């Protein structure tokens, strides 16, 4: 079984695209998840010429743009229009760069009843999915914050019922939510786009660690995905939020070897 490996630019904040691509090609990664934030080189404010130039750099390096990690919170309080506008901007950027996925977050208000937040998020995703379909891009709701498990995410995605609205499995959040990998996969399989792997020391200390040196159930995750013939694993190393974490560039080679070893054992 061949599974493609990517890493997120969250681990190398602000790094110019040519240097990101050099890291990917040097260490044998097939793709890159781009953090689509204004402080990064790639974001929705890029001009058409900048978008074309960025896409050309990826094509020239033979590296795929796996997805754009946006920060739109689909269950957030307020009107639908600003939320939908943010998603549409991400979708257009993904289309222009040739990326198949964009990431959104739940972000529900803890003071609002859960059923109401779920309905708001489902309505917005259902509307945005029509735009996504026209552009050939999928919107992925990450298991995160207010909806950190597969069981949580499916409360939104189930009612949407649109192929272009799917799930992004963040293994840290589902573990923190008390879900086993087999349970998460069972919940998300019909909707799953790709999986973010990472490692941490404990539930109390989520500082990013080299893959395989922490407590997250990476072996179990890779095993269940391998048995189902999944496509992509993306290493999300959250260096942006943890200045004390070791530089990702120094860890990419060993991280790829660790994932390759897990994939070999699962084959």
pLDDT of 250 > 60? The answer is yes
SS3 6: strand
Q: How high is the pLDDT of residue 229?
A: 83
Tens digit of each residue's pLDDT (9 = 90 or more) over 62-116: 999 999 999 999 999 999 999 999 999 999 999 999 999 999 999 999 999 999 9
Continuous segment of H or E residues that includes residue 16:
none
Rounded Cα–Cα distance for residues 190 and 157 (Å)? 10
Q: How high is the pLDDT of residue 132?
A: 98
Write down the residue that tokens 């192929």 correspond to.
163
Tens digit of each residue's pLDDT (9 = 90 or more) over 170-212: 999 999 999 999 999 999 999 999 999 999 999 999 999 999 9
Q: How high is the pLDDT of residue 265?
A: 84
Tens digit of each residue's pLDDT (9 = 90 or more) over 23-46: 999 999 999 999 999 999 999 999
Percent share of the chain, pLDDT over 70: 99
Rounded Cα–Cα distance for residues 10 and 89 (Å)? 20
Q: How high is the pLDDT of residue 267?
A: 62
Rounded Cα–Cα distance for residues 210 and 242 (Å)? 13
Q: How high is the pLDDT of residue 230?
A: 85
Q: How high is the pLDDT of residue 2?
A: 78
Q: State the fold for domain 4-266.
A: TIM Barrel (3.20.20)
The mean per-residue pLDDT over the stretch 4-20 comes to 97
Q: How confident is the model at residue 257 (pLDDT cuts 50, 70, 90)?
A: very high
Q: Which string of b and e fits 144-178 if b means at least 16 CB within 10 Å?
A: bebbbbbbbbbbbbeebebebbbbbbbbbbbbbbe
Q: How high is the pLDDT of residue 266?
A: 77
| Average pLDDT score, the chain | 97
Q: How confident is the model at residue 228 (pLDDT cuts 50, 70, 90)?
A: confident
List Cα–Cα distances, 74 to 66, 83, 87, 164, in angstroms. 21, 7, 9, 15
Dump strand ranges (E) for 63-106. 64-73, 101-105
């Amino acid at each position: 079984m061949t599974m493609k490996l990517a890493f997120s630019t969250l681990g190398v904040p602000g790094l110019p695209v040519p240097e990101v691509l050099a890291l990917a090609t040097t260490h044998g990664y097939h793709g890159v998840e781009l953090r689509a934030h204004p402080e990064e080189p790639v974001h929705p404010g890029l001009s058409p010429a900048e978008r074309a130039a960025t896409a050309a750099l990826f094509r020239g390096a033979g590296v795929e743009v796996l997805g754009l990690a946006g920060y739109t919170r689909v269950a957030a309080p307020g009107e639908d229009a600003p939320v939908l506008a943010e998603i549409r901007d991400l979708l257009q950027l993904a289309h222009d760069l040739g990326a198949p996925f964009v990431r959104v977050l739940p972000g529900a208000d803890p003071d609002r009843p859960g059923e109401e937040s779920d309905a708001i998020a489902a309505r917005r995703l259902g509307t945005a999915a029509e735009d996504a379909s026209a552009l050939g891009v999928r919107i992925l709701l990450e298991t995160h914050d207010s909806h950190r498990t597969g069981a949580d995410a499916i409360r939104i995605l189930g009612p949407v019922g649109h192929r272009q609205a799917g799930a992004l499995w963040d293994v840290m959040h589902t573990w923190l939510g008390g879900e086993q990998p087999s349970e998460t996969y069972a919940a998300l399989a019909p909707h799953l786009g790709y999986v973010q792997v990472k490692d941490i020391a404990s539930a109390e200390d989520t500082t990013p660690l080299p893959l395989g040196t922490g407590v997250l159930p990476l072996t179990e995750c890779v095993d269940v995905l391998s048995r189902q013939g999944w496509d992509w694993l993306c290493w999300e190393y959250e260096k942006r939020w943890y200045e004390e974490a070791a530089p990702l560039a120094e860890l990419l080679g060993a991280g790829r070897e660790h994932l390759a070893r897990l994939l070999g054992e699962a084959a």
